[in-house]
């Protein structure tokens, strides 16, 4: 029988939560009874929180403007969960951007920002949360990383983005051994109906979107909730493609690999 982790009365931090997928995740968690701390570089998150509190009750959500590449600001955002609501239970690393093809990024600025936001900040936030949970005896936590199917489909026109999402997948798998105290999981969706589609080199007429279609944010949110609630998931990644049932990634996790290595050594 599957053991379920109740989201009700938990406290979640969602980065990049002011719009699109991040806001959908924050709203879903609030609807399920969680308190939510939303962080985003966009100030529009303040308006989003007003609406969440109107719909789900006062003091359900708070917003703090945050550039996740600023380590002190990111740590302060995570600390806000404890300061405002008394605990930290869930961290959703959602903040992310696309890079540009090399010929549209002559200085490499976009590529570097993509690495810093999509992966470096994700590791920084996760590492900080792990230390917080380690300081409290009996505490438990869940980390959800927003990856991409791009991790498994190298794409020249999004080379750095693809690399960061591959890194997210490897990082997620590598932390499977932290369970049951902390469960780290990820979703790896194909293109989603979000603001990222507005990038000048993508757009809705991009050949991959025409061929494979678009996921609706709720399809991804449903799998995020699944990974939080189902306590059997640890170091797991769910691949989500338009028109297909979500599939659990079959690549081995860290404990599987250690067993293989140990048996080969013997």
User: DSSP string of 207-266?
Assistant: HHHHHH--B-HHHHHHHHHHHHHBTT-SS-EEEE-TTS--EE--S--HHHHHHHHHHHH-
Q: Is 142 helix (H, G, I), strand (E, B) or coil?
A: strand
| More confident of the two residues 195 and 121 | 121
Q: Look up the pTM and report it.
A: 0.91
Q: What is the CATH number of the domain that holds 203?
A: 3.40.50.720
Report percent pLDDT > 90 for the chain: 74
In-domain check, residue 1: no
In-domain check, residue 59: yes
Q: What residues are annotated to the active site? A: 161
Does residue 259 register a pLDDT over 60? Answer: no
Number of domains in the chain: 1
* pLDDT category of residue 69 using cuts at 50, 70 and 90: very high
Domain that holds residue 167: 11-265
CA distances from 79 to 15, 37, 100 (A): 13, 10, 33
Q: CB within 8 A of 95, min separation 6: which ones?
A: 15, 16, 22, 39, 40, 41, 68, 117, 118, 121, 122
In-domain check, residue 3: no
Distance, in Å, from the CA atom of 184 to the CA atom of 29, rounded to the nearest integer, reads 17
| More confident of the two residues 206 and 90 | 90
In-domain check, residue 4: no
Mean of all residue pLDDT scores within the chain: 90
* Mean pLDDT, rounded, for 75-91: 98
* Mean pLDDT, rounded, for 124-144: 96
Does residue 128 register a pLDDT over 90? Answer: yes
Does residue 40 register a pLDDT over 80? Answer: yes
Distance, in Å, from the CA atom of 111 to the CA atom of 170, rounded to the nearest integer, reads 20
């Amino acid at each position: 029988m599957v053991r379920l982790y109740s989201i009700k009365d938990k406290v979640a931090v969602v980065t990049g939560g002011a719009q699109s997928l991040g806001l959908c995740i924050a709203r879903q968690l609030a609807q399920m009874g969680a308190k939510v701390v939303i962080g985003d570089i966009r100030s529009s998150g303040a308006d989003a929180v007003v609406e969440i509190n109107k719909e789900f009750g006062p003091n359900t959500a708070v917003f703090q403007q945050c550039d996740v590449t600023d380590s002190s600001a990111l740590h302060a955002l995570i600390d806000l969960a404890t300061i405002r609501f008394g605990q930290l239970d869930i961290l959703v690393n959602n903040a992310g951007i696309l890079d540009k093809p090399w010929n549209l990024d002559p200085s490499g600025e976009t590529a570097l920002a993509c690495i810093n936001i999509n992966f470096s900040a994700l590791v920084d936030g996760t590492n900080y949360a792990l230390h917080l949970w380690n300081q409290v005896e009996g505490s438990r936590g869940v980390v959800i990383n927003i990856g991409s199917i791009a991790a498994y489909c190298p794409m020249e026109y999004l080379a750095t983005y693809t690399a960061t999402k591959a890194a997210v997948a490897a990082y997620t798998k590598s932390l499977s051994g932290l369970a049951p105290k902390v469960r780290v999981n990820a979703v790896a969706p194909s293109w989603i109906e979000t603001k990222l589609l507005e990038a000048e080199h993508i757009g809705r007429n991009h050949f991959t979107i025409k061929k494979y279609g678009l996921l609706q944010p709720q399809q991804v949110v449903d799998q995020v909730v699944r990974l939080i609630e189902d306590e059997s998931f640890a170091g797991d990644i769910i691949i989500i493609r338009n028109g297909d049932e979500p599939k659990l990634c079959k690549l081995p996790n860290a404990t599987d690999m250690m067993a293989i290595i140990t048996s080969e050594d013997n």
